[in-house]
């Protein structure tokens, strides 16, 4: 009962006994995968899973003429073979092998001993190249240890992109040596709002990753075939940076790191010095993150300060721009050119469609499907991040005791029904521009690792299947496989949401969420739709 569902799965006669006598043989190119698998299986078998030769009683990892992420797994009574197109495929084959074991084998410190694995033949490959999760560590910081644990959970589900939201109004989370105040000042806020509209909690909150932390995180993820894509949000969502360096903003008065949620009014100015500042920031970011994709946000940037700024208005006149939307487009273009010159590609949220799209940009489309359709048809690659389908900060039921009562209801079934290719693009050659999709774990109201567990799982398992497996949906089949998968999550210590609702220790009643005003919500959606249609 494998999650996500393999392309082909056949049961065969017999069983393989995995014990302390089992050996592991691997093509030299798959040595790192072999080392990882040995580390996972040796505690389970009670032995060291010593290197051996292909043959009876051996797990063999080999290369074959397959796509890089594709694999074949054969478990027979006399041995196990994983043939793959490359290290990533071998790793995914090894993850499938683990899911053939009893759920208790996933528990750290599980007692070692012989395990019987069913004989099977699996042929598998992912549908999409981009299978990601957005993790917002800016609103609520996540320790390095907890982040590494989340990477392991992504790997179990064969996701391969971790989009780290590292900066926002409420915090700056990455050490930049040239600008130390970004973390000295920008990584801490005095207090945080309770709920979306609640009182302040009076507790300082903060933290950041040193550059050595980042190197460790990136390397740890790479060994699990997960690419870490950093996001430094600009020109909006920048109050923490402006609090650290007031000259980046549009006001003459100092401001603090924000402790409230929503769209902040403080945005970057458009001076040459500010653009140079963030290029210097990105110089250090690029050294730490080898990802060919770098996200610069571009979302939810209010233009009020630019409308009253003599400097911004002068820039509009000098450049012959139509309005502030085109000014933002010009601003984003500066970083598109900067990244392209260094062999990287800019990723931005779908607001970058408004006012003109930077030539080489990849669009992370979050406001329903219109942005994805517009970007793909104009020749731009797209990552589908539709908030209506894959935002895991949204509530999971109408129950009053949901611990994070925010947004519209997004159930497990709703997530499983998600299709990364918008309906308007199906059958259109432009659909080839859909690289894949990402689920979003935004943490304004998710203030602990335990809450992340509850909000992400098991919805992340449903999402993983939408980006790995074929476009067909089989909800009863998925639920049957999920029933076998949940004990694995239990063994891994994941405090997921149960079908019956939150368990007694998971509830947190009385926390205000987004006001349930259908007219206001619809007005927001109508505004998004109008802006995106105009951009097309």
218-260 residue pLDDT tens = 999 999 999 999 999 999 999 999 999 999 999 988 999 999 9
Residue 447, classified by CB atoms within 10 Å of its CB into exposed (0-12), middle (13-18) or buried (19+), is buried
Q: Which pair of tokens denotes residue 408?
A: 């519209």
The whole-number pLDDT of residue 373 equals 95
Give the count of alpha carbons within 13 A of 75, CB side only: 24
For residue 523, pLDDT over 70 is answered with no
Calculate helix-pair angle for 144-156, 449-456, nearest 10 degrees: 20
pLDDT (average), residues 371-376: 93
The band of 142, judged by pLDDT with boundaries at 50, 70 and 90, is: very high
Residue 42's pLDDT is 85
Average pLDDT over residues 195-213: 95
pLDDT of 412 > 90? The answer is yes
Residue 20 CB-density burial (10 A; 0-12 exposed, 13-18 middle, 19+ buried): middle
pLDDT the model gives residue 527: 58
The answer to whether 300 is a known catalytic residue is yes
Name the percent of the chain lying above pLDDT 70: 93
- pLDDT at residue 56 is higher than 90: no
pTM value is 0.94
Q: Closest by alpha carbon to 133, among 211, 30, 226?
A: 226
Portion of the chain with pLDDT greater than 90, in percent: 82
Question: What is 133-172 written as a DSSP string?
Answer: EEEETTTS---HHHHHHHHHHHHHTT--EEEEE-EETTEE
pLDDT for 517 = 46
Residue of 230, 236, 320 lying closest to 270 (CA atoms): 236
**pLDDT value of position 534:** 53
- Please give the Cα distance from 425 to 445 (Å, whole number): 34
Q: What is the mean pLDDT of residues 393-416?
A: 93
Element spanning 532, H or E: helix 518-535
Cβ pair 371, 532 in contact under 8 A: yes
Catalytic residue among 146, 216, 300, 419: 300
Give the integer Cα–Cα distance in Å for 449 and 482.
22
At residue 353, does pLDDT exceed 60? yes
Contact by Cβ (8 Å): 401, 431: no
Beta-carbon contacts of residue 299 (< 8 Å; ≥ 6 apart): 233, 236, 237, 348, 349, 350, 351, 366
Determine contact, residues 369/385, Cβ cutoff 8 Å: no
Reference 437, options 126, 67, 137; nearest CA is 126
Confidence of residue 114 (pLDDT cuts 50, 70, 90): confident
Annotation marks residue 519 as catalytic:
no
Residue 531: predicted pLDDT: 54
**If you average pLDDT over residues 351-374, what whole number do you get?**
88
Is residue 363 predicted with pLDDT exceeding 60?
yes
The predicted model gives 155-183 an average pLDDT of 98
Residue 314 pLDDT: 97
Q: Is 380 noted as a catalytic residue in this protein?
A: no
Name the active-site residue from 157, 237, 433, 485.
Answer: 237
The SS3 call for residue 447 is: coil
Residue 438: what pLDDT?
98
The SS3 assignment for 119 reads strand
Residue 52: pLDDT above 90?
A: no
Q: Where are the beta strands (DSSP E) in 159-254?
A: 161-165, 167-168, 171-172, 188-189, 205-206, 227-234
Residue ranges of E strands in 248-379: 293-297, 345-349, 362-365
Ramachandran bin of 55, using left for φ above 0, alpha for ψ from -120 to 50, beta for the remaining angles? left
| Top-confidence residue, 53 or 264 | 264
Apex 347 CA angle, 343 and 352, nearest 5: 125
Rounded to an integer, what distance in angstroms lies between the CA atom of residue 151 and that of residue 35?
18
So what's the pLDDT on residue 535? Answer: 47
pLDDT in tens, 452-481: 999 999 999 999 999 999 999 999 999 999
Average pLDDT, stretch 186-197? 95
Average pLDDT over residues 277-291: 98
Range 7-19 average pLDDT:
95
pLDDT band for position 109 (cuts 50, 70, 90): low
Unique residue bearing structure tokens 């909800």: 475
Q: Which of 81, 168, 324, 453 is catalytic?
A: 168
CB 462 within 8 A of CB 451: no
Q: Are 205 and 279 in contact (CB under 8 A)?
A: no
Q: Give the per-residue pLDDT at 526.
A: 56
Which tens digit of pLDDT belongs to each residue from 72-105?
999 999 999 999 999 999 999 999 999 999 998 8
| pLDDT of 10 over the 90 cut | yes
With cut-offs at 50, 70 and 90, classify the pLDDT of residue 536. Answer: very low
pLDDT at 53: 73
* pLDDT in the model for residue 495: 96
Flag whether pLDDT at 347 surpasses 90: yes
User: Sorting pLDDT into bands at 50, 70 and 90, what band is 111?
Assistant: low
Write the Ramachandran bin of 196: left for phi over 0, alpha for psi from -120 to 50, otherwise beta. Answer: alpha
Q: Give burial (CB, 10 Å; 0-12/13-18/19+) of 41.
A: buried
Instruction: Domains for the chain: give ranges and CATH numbers.
Output: 8-124 (3.30.379.10), 130-476+506-535 (3.20.20.80)
Identify the pLDDT of residue 514: 45
* Residue 529 reports pLDDT greater than 80: no
Q: Give the Cα separation of 145 and 165 in Å (integer).
A: 17
**55 confidence band (pLDDT: 50, 70, 90):** confident
In angstroms, the CA 314 to CA 311 distance is: 5
pLDDT: is 400 or 376 the higher one?
376
pLDDT, averaged across the chain: 92
């Amino acid at each position: 009962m494998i999650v996500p569902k393999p392309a082909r799965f056949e049961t065969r006669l017999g069983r393989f006994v995995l014990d302390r006598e089992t050996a592991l043989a691997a093509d030299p190119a798959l040595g790192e995968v072999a080392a990882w698998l040995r580390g996972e299986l040796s505690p389970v078998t009670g032995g060291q899973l010593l290197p051996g030769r292909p043959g009876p009683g051996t797990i063999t990892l080999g290369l074959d003429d397959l796509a890089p992420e594709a694999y074949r797994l054969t478990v027979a009574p006399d041995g196990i073979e994983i043939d793959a197109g490359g290290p990533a495929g071998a790793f995914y084959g090894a993850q499938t092998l683990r899911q053939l074991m009893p759920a208790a084998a996933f528990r750290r410190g599980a007692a070692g001993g012989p395990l019987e694995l069913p004989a099977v033949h699996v042929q598998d490959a992912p549908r999409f190249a981009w299978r990601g999760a957005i993790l917002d560590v800016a609103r609520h910081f996540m320790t390095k240890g907890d982040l590494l644990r989340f990477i392991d959970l992504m790997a179990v589900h064969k996701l391969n992109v971790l989009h780290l939201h590292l900066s926002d109004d409420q915090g700056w989370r990455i050490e930049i040596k040239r600008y130390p105040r970004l973390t000295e000042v920008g990584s801490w806020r005095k207090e945080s709002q309770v709920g979306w509209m609640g009182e302040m909690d009076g507790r300082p909150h903060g933290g950041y990753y040193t550059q050595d932390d980042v190197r460790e995180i990136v390397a740890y993820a790479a060994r699990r075939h997960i690419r870490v894509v950093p996001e430094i949000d600009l020109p909006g969502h920048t109050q923490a940076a402006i609090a650290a360096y007031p000259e980046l903003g549009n006001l003459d008065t100092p401001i603090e790191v924000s402790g409230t949620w929503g769209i902040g009014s403080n945005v970057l100015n458009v001076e040459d010095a500010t653009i140079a500042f963030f290029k210097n920031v990105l110089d250090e970011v690029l050294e730490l993150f080898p990802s060919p994709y770098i996200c610069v946000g571009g979302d939810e940037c209010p233009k009020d300060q630019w409308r009253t700024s003599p400097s911004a208005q002068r820039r509009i006149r000098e450049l012959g721009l139509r309005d502030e939307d085109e000014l933002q487009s010009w601003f984003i273009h500066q970083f598109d050119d900067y990244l392209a010159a260094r062999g990287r590609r800019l990723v931005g949220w779908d607001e970058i469609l408004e006012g003109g799209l930077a030539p080489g940009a990849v669009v992370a489309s979050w406001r329903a499907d219109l942005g994805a359709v517009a970007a793909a048809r104009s020749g731009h690659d797209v990552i589908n991040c539709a908030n209506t389908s894959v935002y895991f900060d949204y509530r999971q039921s109408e129950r009053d005791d949901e611990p994070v009562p925010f947004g519209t209801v997004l159930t497990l079934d709703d997530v499983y029904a998600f299709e990364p290719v918008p309906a308007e693009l199906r059958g259109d050659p432009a659909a080839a521009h859909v690289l894949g999709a990402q689920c979003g774990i935004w943490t304004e109201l998710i203030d602990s690792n335990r809450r992340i567990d509850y909000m992400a799982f098991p919805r992340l398992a449903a999402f993983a299947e939408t980006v790995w497996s074929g476009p067909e949906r089989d909800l009863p089949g998925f639920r049957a496989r999920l029933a076998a998968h949940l004990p694995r999550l239990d063994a891994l210590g994941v405090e997921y949401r149960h079908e019956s609702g939150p368990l007694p220790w998971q509830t947190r009643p009385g926390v205000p969420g987004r006001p349930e005003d259908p007219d206001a919500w619809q007005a927001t959606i109508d505004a998004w739709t109008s802006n995106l249609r105009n951009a097309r």
